């Protein structure tokens, strides 16, 4: 099963919880044992797995990424002016893979799946591939 999901972001930097959406696709697929791959086809956004219990974690991650990769830097050369977005995307990565067992994703108690926007607001897509096996 392959699904492309459209997501709208509202800020330049934003971390959106997509766990329920991916879990619904896994459930709908009927796959009891396999993997789900969540992939972001954008160079200024990414997919991450991290804590979903405390919303302050998202704030802290974005704050630290801004400190490491400031929006403006005198040595950036990329003409579009969004070098920081590319660097943040490289750091989070374009995809995550989660094991499916018993028809459910094997995420840790505190884990969630996140779409990470670094050059918004935009209308974006992410792709979910569910494989049995």
pLDDT at 83: 96
Where does the pLDDT of residue 34 fall: very low under 50, low under 70, confident under 90, or very high at 90 and above? very high
Q: Residue 129 in contact with residue 2, Cβ under 8 Å? A: yes
Query: CATH number of 2-132: 3.30.830.10, 3.10.20.30, 3.40.50.620, 2.60.120.460?
Result: 2.60.120.460
pLDDT at 8: 98
Instruction: Name the helix (H) or strand (E) containing 44.
Output: none
Write out pLDDT tens, residues 105-132: 999 999 999 999 999 999 999 999 999 9
Q: What is the mean pLDDT of residues 67-96?
A: 95
Higher pLDDT, 34 or 72: 34
pLDDT at 25: 98
pLDDT at 79: 87
Radius of gyration, alpha carbons of the chain: 16
- In the predicted model, is pLDDT for residue 46 greater than 90? yes
Q: What is the mean pLDDT of residues 60-79?
A: 94
Burial (CB count <10 Å: 0-12, 13-18, 19+), residue 77: exposed
DSSP H helices in 47-133: 56-68, 83-92
């Amino acid at each position: 099963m392959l699904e492309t999901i459209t997501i709208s972001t509202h800020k330049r930097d934003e971390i959106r919880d997509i766990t329920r959406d991916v879990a619904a696709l896994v459930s709908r697929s009927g796959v009891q044992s396999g993997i789900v791959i969540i992939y972001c086809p954008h160079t200024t956004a990414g997919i991450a797995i991290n804590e979903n219990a405390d919303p302050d974690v998202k704030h802290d991650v974005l704050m630290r990424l801004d400190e490491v990769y400031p929006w403006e830097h005198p040595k950036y050369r990329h003409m579009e002016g969004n070098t920081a977005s590319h660097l943040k995307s490289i750091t989070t990565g374009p995809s995550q893979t989660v094991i499916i067992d018993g028809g459910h994703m094997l995420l840790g108690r505190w884990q969630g799946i996140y779409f990470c926007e670094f050059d918004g607001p935009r209308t974006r897509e992410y792709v979910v591939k569910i494989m049995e096996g």
